[in-house]
């Protein structure tokens, strides 16, 4: 991810983050995908790296909560599943492949993936966890929550005071 500044013909500036990814298809073709995110105010907007770090922090906290509260009391498995997908995509890894992260996979895990797919938050082929990936809607929702978390910590604001 790089941050770029472009000058328009009228002299105004556009700030953008540019990300280039290389993806392999099922027949091992390599595809290049470029994504440009416009940044309204480069000093206020959180880039991809802080969002990724916040996702990792929240995942770690969530795993500890799940471990301490137990399967019957911990109610944020869906959020942990989405965070795991987001982190895997940020790192260019296959989702749910690395069990060393401590990500809890209970018997409801396959059902959770189907529910997330039906809600339009992930794409899932043949209910195979390895094929799961966030949709653009799912990514936008995750990043909205991550930005709210970062803003809250940066400003000391309570969640009730954050814009919806």
Residue 10 scores a pLDDT above 70: yes
CATH number reported for the structural domain that contains residue 26 in this entry? 2.10.70
Residues 51 and 67 in one domain: yes
Sign of CA dihedral 124, 93, 60, 152: negative
Whole-number percent of the chain with pLDDT over 90 = 22
Beta strand segments in the chain, E: 2-7, 13-24, 30-39, 122-123, 133-134
Cα gap 159→151, rounded to integer Å: 9
Position 89 scores a pLDDT of 87
Residues 89 and 129 in one domain: yes
What phi and psi, each to the nearest 5 degrees, are found at residue 132? -65, 135
Residues 25 and 51 in one domain: no
Residues 74 and 20 in one domain: no
What is the rounded end-to-end Cα distance, in angstroms, of the chain?
27
Position 153 scores a pLDDT of 82
Model confidence over 61-94: pLDDT tens digits? Answer: 998 998 899 877 888 888 999 999 999 888 888 7
């Amino acid at each position: 991810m790089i941050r770029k500044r472009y000058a328009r013909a009228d002299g105004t500036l556009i700030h953008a983050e540019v990300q280039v990814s290389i993806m392999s298809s099922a027949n091992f073709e390599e595809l290049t995908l470029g994504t440009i995110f416009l940044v309204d105010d480069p000093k206020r907007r959180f880039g991809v790296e802080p969002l990724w770090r916040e996702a990792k922090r929240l995942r770690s906290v969530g795993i500890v909560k799940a471990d301490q509260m137990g399967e019957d009391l911990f109610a944020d498995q869906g959020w942990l599943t989405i965070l795991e997908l987001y982190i895997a995509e940020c790192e260019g890894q296959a989702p749910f492949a690395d069990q060393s992260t401590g990500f809890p996979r209970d018997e409801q895990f396959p059902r959770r993936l189907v529910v997330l797919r039906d809600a339009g938050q992930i794409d899932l082929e043949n209910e195979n966890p390895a094929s799961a990936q966030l949709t653009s809607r799912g990514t936008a929702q995750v990043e909205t929550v991550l930005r709210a978390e970062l803003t809250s910590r940066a400003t000391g604001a309570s969640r009730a005071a954050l814009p919806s």
